[in-house]
Amino acid sequence: MKIIGFACDHAGFELKETAREYITSLGYRCRDFGAYSAGSSDYPDHAHPLARAVESGEVETGVALCGTGNGIGIALNKHRSIRAAICWLPEIAQLARAHNDANILVLPARFIAPDDMKAIVDIFLNTPFEGGRHLRRVEKIPVQ
């Protein structure tokens, strides 16, 4: 069974809880790296443990949330093997997986509704990486 990791700050907490419940209902196991409440928190404190868990294989992939998705996405992408993609439409999630082999889905919690989140999550979790010409590009991402 796949394990999905979660991270958020205070702005993403409510939607993270909804996403975690939804993903659990799909049969996945979840590992929560916080935040654990809507009280003020700093997204890097939760992003870095999630990124390390994805890098080590402790979790298969991740879902991260903050108000816009930008802050937590920037923190996640500081990790060499992380490809975190901010997705606010199912089509963006599909392309992030198929073309960029994104390994963490970043959701802008203040800008998407729970039903939209579910559609985005479904696409992200079920779209394979196409490889081919896209693999060459993905391999060029890490700074040597």
Catalytically annotated residues = 66, 99
Looking up tokens 């939760």 gives 46
* C-alpha dihedral (111, 105, 22, 50), degrees to nearest 10: -120
Q: Looking at the chain, list the stretches that DSSP marks H as alpha helix, in order from N- to C-terminal side.
A: 13-25, 43-56, 70-76, 90-100, 114-126, 133-139
Sheet holding 29-32, edge to edge: 29-32, 3-8, 61-66, 104-108, 84-86
